[in-house]
Amino acid sequence: MEKPYISIIIPCPPGKTPDALEHIKKLNYPQEKFEVIIEEGYNPSAQRNRGIKKARGEVIGFTDDDCSMDPNWLDNTMKYFGDKSVGIVGGPNLTPKNSTFLSKCFGFAMSSYFGAASMSTRYDKKSLNRNATEQNLIFNNMFVKNEIFKKGMYLNEALFPNEENEFINRVSKQNYKMIYASDVSVYHPRKSTFKGFVKQVFGYGAGRAHQTKIQPDSFKILYLIPTLFVLGILSLFLSFLFHLKLLTEIIISGFILYFIISIAISLKIAIDEKKPAIFPLMPLIFFMIHISYGMGFMMNFLKLHFNIPKWFRSSSSRLGVSLACPLTMICIEILANNSDLMSNLYS
């Protein structure tokens, strides 16, 4: 069977040479059977659309400039396109093995169902899924039949992040099969600081709110749970302020249950990974994920749906991140002042 011609599109900032190129050069796939298209800019959705219009491949692959992949990346992917009804194939983006201790902890949290629900499949190798959805696939490791784009189904350039989520939902309505395969994987660096991680997760929540406005049928109650978590915290402050004893007891009971589950899952991760040092950090990271995503969704939802003051619209992201991570700011200060100690402790 003749191997299909593939176009690989990499969006990157202006003037940067993608690190991914060094790994793409080592792929086992015949060099004459694929091309690499690099699109510079600051809007990944628009960059990918430009690349799509230049692509000559039967299948178009997408990855990020800082990703790395195994030599069999393309071969492993193309076997799934043997089924003519398959339109999209993708897999997880894994935490690089040489990551820092903190980055690995972020990876553990995002690959946990407690941390990212069904989206956790994007961050770890899970079972083969021949009925994948937008919750399982991510653009830094995704392949799409070019015929889909030739039908005019490009990316929504108003969306980033969540542009792949909105796109995948549209493709799913065209009766294409979508496959999540663990052997189609790349390695993608995690954030290296608490502040960067919180800002990233805040952006995921904000992107989901934007997608919900553009594509209302994509909404699921699951996406609202972190926002309810944030509202629970706000309600706790109000219940203290107005001496609502019963409401206070109910909310506190809920948070006690949450932290019991969080601690139990953190302990399991530490045991599975045989790294006791991650145990005390994981509950904080889970807390930051849920608060940050919830704040991102809530604040962008308000910005998109209500006539709110201009100062709030312009500063909502910065304000949201600051409110979402007071504990994170403390941790950053501690880590910054004790970087040598942390390096020695977790090396």
Question: What is the reported pLDDT for 320?
Answer: 53
Q: pTM above 0.85? A: yes
- Are 186 and 140 contacting, i.e. CB atoms less than 8 angstroms apart? yes
Rounded to 5 degrees, what angle do the CA atoms 106, 289, 193 make?
A: 45
Question: What is the reported pLDDT for 243?
Answer: 87
Nearest to 60 by CA among 118, 132, 120, 4: 4
Nearest to 301 by CA among 234, 233, 207: 207
Rounded to whole angstroms, the Cα distance separating 170 from 178 reads: 12
Question: What is the reported pLDDT for 57?
Answer: 97
Question: What is the reported pLDDT for 310?
Answer: 60
Which neighbouring-strand residues pair with 17?
Answer: none
**What residue segments make up the domains of the chain, in order of their start?**
6-187, 194-346
- Are 90 and 183 contacting, i.e. CB atoms less than 8 angstroms apart? no
Question: What is the reported pLDDT for 346?
Answer: 37
Q: Provide the token pair at 120.
A: 């956790």
Compute CA distances 168 → 5, 224, 340, whole Å: 22, 20, 44
Mean pLDDT by 10 residues, the chain (347 residues): 93 95 96 97 96 98 97 97 96 96 97 96 95 95 97 93 94 95 97 93 94 94 92 88 89 92 97 96 95 92 78 54 49 41 39
Question: What is the reported pLDDT for 334?
Answer: 37
Rounded to whole angstroms, the Cα distance separating 198 from 32 reads: 42
Q: Which ranges in the chain belong to alpha helices (H)?
A: 20-24, 44-54, 73-78, 101-110, 113-116, 146-150, 163-172, 194-214, 225-241, 245-273, 282-305, 310-324, 326-337, 339-346
CATH 3.30.43.10 fits 6-187, yes or no: no
Question: What is the reported pLDDT for 233?
Answer: 87
Question: What is the reported pLDDT for 26?
Answer: 96
Question: What is the reported pLDDT for 78?
Answer: 97
Question: What is the reported pLDDT for 330?
Answer: 40
